[in-house]
Chains A and B, each alone.
Chain A
């Protein structure tokens, strides 16, 4: 199960993670709906792009620009959060969406917990693979922690000060208070 577009849905994608003996060049990518590491994609592109459906994932140290010319080949792009406190994935997502114009599913994988989801959806993630030891219903609540935000990101093109009229401190306001 994952959270996608703010609801809990079944999911049959498999994230391929290489073990130490495997190399991006030689690893056999199983049949089925696979989300492969960026390096595997880059090394095995010719074979993989024949598949009907393929996904790719980026580690937090990798660059989304490496996928610049391939973006519309993927049914899903995932960004890995090796740990909660590694915030590079937020900028990767922002750059994928806002700079590179990726419009398909963008999924957060790895150490993905309730309290990150609000931020993640703002920078462009629309799917979340919650860590398997956690209650996904509970995590869903994280998407609605706040009902208003100040700054632009991928979700809000306009900052609050361009979106809504906000009052200044005029003498008139003071009298009305």
Chain B
């Protein structure tokens, strides 16, 4: 993976110094909160319900075991012993003190990490395919380009105060695993007929209150020009994106207003005099950065370890895990392992300090000391020898990291919701827990097969409910009541689509039953080997809708006495939301 040279390290060190001084000026009153706000937001520091939350960048999701240990250290020393991995491949700590944050950044800088541009109206952390470099369907390894884009966007002087946040994702496989359609800019690395590398560039995708699938602005931008092309997109957006209304400020609204053709014309007019200029990428630079992403020392092995098969036959849990959490690797004898942070009962994406240390150990022992964070809030060991799978599984099981549910119903994406977020209408995490507990039965889940269930506590869509096969959103009606809207038919990947709301919203306790009814229709209607989303696409929404609303809900709406208190097993301190 990428290692800092003296330039990267110096920039990050100077950032720590600059930020330390900004915090000093805030604490001494030289800066008002209003003035400090955009500064701290350029640094991933949010004020939440209970405390400051710090979001740390995990560039394109790649981390070393050493960095993971640093997260464990931060969790113990400054937080309440856990952290939360996000859908944009970052990690967040929820319980920090402002005065500690400069020290946290200094700790991070010592392991080549930072929180630069993890929030605020700037170019955010660039996300990528969690299986980059090891996926069987890879056309171009996106990691060198992701790193080059990371450096290009870091402290870009012209684009630090955009109309709104700006998210770039880059993928390089035949199948899109980076949700490139749901980003402000989505880049699909590909090769043309001559075998030259370039990018299909999508622009104006995004979720939030106006979900839009990105439009293609250019079918093929040769790799040399990708930085300048992205620069021109940002310059047009910086000048013409709306600043009068923050709900209309994302680039998707500008692209819609101008139309993709006119937007493209403006971008390419700006680009005309950058093209082939000094900002053009050189082959030397691409090759230099690519040296950080070469293959580790793979052994010469063959697939199909016999011991593995024996063990699979013996253990149902292991074979379930093999089926869902272990993915094919492009090198014979190796496998990709997804560690699940979705054990039913846990808050999706949370890991304790103990788990983080254990995960770092596993990475060192079994996967060349590297890890990836997935956009579904799980972790990946990308280079595991197949013959180590049994041992790895046993050790990871001891730390509750082997729920065999990757891509299944309980692999839920959930935003932090009302327990943390001031904007929430809903308790996303408790709902995710309720659903996961109801459908915990592994045989049932494996029978249902591939499905995505995404939960957001409000229209801002941090839980990406729009692109869940089933999406759940907290909506407010009257008296701050919590209501839950259910949508159907969203998807990510090559066939991305935005889900449609099925009808009137539901109470908290009704939601699991609603999901059950949706699944009943699927089980009734599915053709052989047809996935949930394919059935929805084939038969449409109507049968689902009719069945969900056909009969009354018998769930008891008993007054939940401790509605305020959510105590996921791993937290020692209960927390609650003042909203409910």
Query: Which A residues lie at the B interface, using CB under 8 A?
Result: 84-88, 90-92, 94, 99, 113, 115, 118-120, 122-123, 138, 145-153, 157-162, 164, 166-170
Q: Is the CB of A123 within 8 A of B155?
A: no
Q: A150-B11, A169-B292 are in contact. Are A118 and B158 (CB under 8 A)?
A: no
Q: Is the CB of A160 within 8 A of B18?
A: no
Closest-by-CB residue of A relative to B281 is A161
Q: Is the CB of A85 within 8 A of B39?
A: no
Q: A86-B243, A145-B14, A159-B278 are in contact. Are A168 and B160 (CB under 8 A)?
A: no
Given contacts A120-B157, A150-B154, A168-B289, 14 further A-B contacts (CB under 8 A): A84-B38, A87-B158, A90-B158, A91-B235, A146-B11, A150-B152, A151-B279, A153-B156, A153-B157, A161-B285, A166-B288, A168-B291, A169-B292, A170-B291
Question: In the complex, A92 Cα to B227 Cα: how many Å?
Answer: 20
Question: In the complex, A90 Cα to B289 Cα: how many Å?
Answer: 30
Q: Is the CB of B291 within 8 A of A149?
A: no
Residue A91 contacts which of B15, B151, B158 (CB distance < 8 angstroms)? Answer: B158
Q: Is the CB of A161 within 8 A of B291?
A: no
Residue B39 contacts which of A115, A159, A168 (CB distance < 8 angstroms)? Answer: A115
**B71 → chain A closest CB, angstroms:** 24
Chain B residues near A84 (CB-CB < 8 A):
35, 38, 161
**A99 → chain B closest CB, angstroms:** 7
Question: In the complex, A1 Cα to B30 Cα: how many Å?
Answer: 20
The 10 closest A-B pairs by CB, nearest first: A87-B161, A122-B157, A168-B291, A119-B157, A161-B285, A168-B288, A169-B291, A150-B151, A90-B158, A169-B292
Chain A residues near B15 (CB-CB < 8 A):
146
Q: Is the CB of A148 within 8 A of B278?
A: no
Q: A113-B35, A151-B279, A159-B278 are in contact. Are A85 and B161 (CB under 8 A)?
A: yes
Q: Is the CB of A164 within 8 A of B7?
A: yes
Chain B residues near A166 (CB-CB < 8 A):
5, 7, 285, 288
Question: In the complex, A90 Cα to B13 Cα: how many Å?
Answer: 25
Q: Is the CB of B18 within 8 A of A145?
A: yes
Which of B10, B282, B288 has the most A CB atoms < 10 Å from its CB? Answer: B288
Q: Is the CB of A152 within 8 A of B279?
A: yes
Q: A146-B11, A152-B278 are in contact. Are A90 and B18 (CB under 8 A)?
A: no
Q: A99-B273, A147-B10, A169-B292 are in contact. Are A160 and B161 (CB under 8 A)?
A: no
Closest-by-CB residue of B relative to A87 is B161
Dominant secondary structure at the A interface: loop
Q: Is the CB of B239 within 8 A of A91?
A: yes
Question: In the complex, A92 Cα to B240 Cα: how many Å?
Answer: 12
Would you call B531 an interface residue if the criterion is a C-beta within 8 Å of the partner chain's C-beta atoms?
no
Q: Is the CB of B157 within 8 A of A123?
A: yes
Q: Please provide the chain B residues from 161 to 200 with a CB less than 8 Å away from any CB of chain A in the complex.
A: 161-163
Q: Is the CB of B238 within 8 A of A146?
A: no
Q: Is the CB of B155 within 8 A of A158?
A: no
B-side interface size class? 35 or more
Chain B residues near A150 (CB-CB < 8 A):
7, 11, 151-152, 154-155
Q: Is the CB of B273 within 8 A of A149?
A: no
Would you call B22 an interface residue if the criterion is a C-beta within 8 Å of the partner chain's C-beta atoms?
yes
**A61 → chain B closest CB, angstroms:** 9
Chain B residues near A169 (CB-CB < 8 A):
3, 291-292, 294
Q: Is the CB of A88 within 8 A of B238?
A: yes
Q: Is the CB of B155 within 8 A of A90?
A: no
Q: Is the CB of A151 within 8 A of B239?
A: no
**A120 → chain B closest CB, angstroms:** 8
Question: In the complex, A151 Cα to B235 Cα: how many Å?
Answer: 14
Would you call B159 an interface residue if the criterion is a C-beta within 8 Å of the partner chain's C-beta atoms?
yes
**A77 → chain B closest CB, angstroms:** 17
Would you call B317 an interface residue if the criterion is a C-beta within 8 Å of the partner chain's C-beta atoms?
no
Q: A123-B157, A148-B10, A166-B5 are in contact. Are A160 and B151 (CB under 8 A)?
A: yes
Question: In the complex, A123 Cα to B14 Cα: how many Å?
Answer: 20
Question: In the complex, A55 Cα to B158 Cα: how many Å?
Answer: 24
Q: Is the CB of B11 within 8 A of A148?
A: yes
Would you call B497 an interface residue if the criterion is a C-beta within 8 Å of the partner chain's C-beta atoms?
no
Chain B residues near A94 (CB-CB < 8 A):
158, 235
Q: Please provide the chain B residues from 221 to 275 with a CB less than 8 Å away from any CB of chain A in the complex.
A: 227, 235, 238-239, 243, 273
Q: Is the CB of A123 within 8 A of B3?
A: no
Chain A residues near B89 (CB-CB < 8 A):
none
Question: In the complex, A79 Cα to B291 Cα: how many Å?
Answer: 43
Question: In the complex, A99 Cα to B277 Cα: how many Å?
Answer: 13
Question: In the complex, A167 Cα to B3 Cα: how many Å?
Answer: 10
Question: In the complex, A159 Cα to B155 Cα: how many Å?
Answer: 13
Chain A residues near B239 (CB-CB < 8 A):
88, 91-92
**B81 → chain A closest CB, angstroms:** 34
Chain A residues near B292 (CB-CB < 8 A):
168-169
Question: In the complex, A120 Cα to B155 Cα: how many Å?
Answer: 12
Closest-by-CB residue of B relative to A135 is B30
Q: Is the CB of A147 within 8 A of B160?
A: no
Q: Is the CB of A91 within 8 A of B238?
A: yes
Question: In the complex, A107 Cα to B278 Cα: how many Å?
Answer: 26
Would you call B287 an interface residue if the criterion is a C-beta within 8 Å of the partner chain's C-beta atoms?
yes
Q: Is the CB of A161 within 8 A of B282?
A: yes
Chain A residues near B5 (CB-CB < 8 A):
166-167
Chain B residues near A91 (CB-CB < 8 A):
158, 235, 238-239
22 contacts between A and B (CB under 8 A): A84-B35, A85-B121, A85-B161, A90-B158, A90-B159, A90-B160, A91-B238, A99-B273, A118-B157, A119-B157, A120-B157, A122-B158, A145-B14, A148-B11, A149-B155, A150-B152, A150-B154, A153-B158, A162-B285, A164-B7, A166-B5, A169-B291
Question: In the complex, A151 Cα to B3 Cα: how many Å?
Answer: 19
**A4 → chain B closest CB, angstroms:** 19
Q: Please provide the chain B residues from 305 to 323 with a CB less than 8 Å away from any CB of chain A in the complex.
A: none
Question: In the complex, A122 Cα to B7 Cα: how many Å?
Answer: 18
Chain B residues near A119 (CB-CB < 8 A):
155, 157-158, 160
Question: In the complex, A34 Cα to B176 Cα: how many Å?
Answer: 57
Chain B residues near A151 (CB-CB < 8 A):
151-153, 156-157, 227, 279
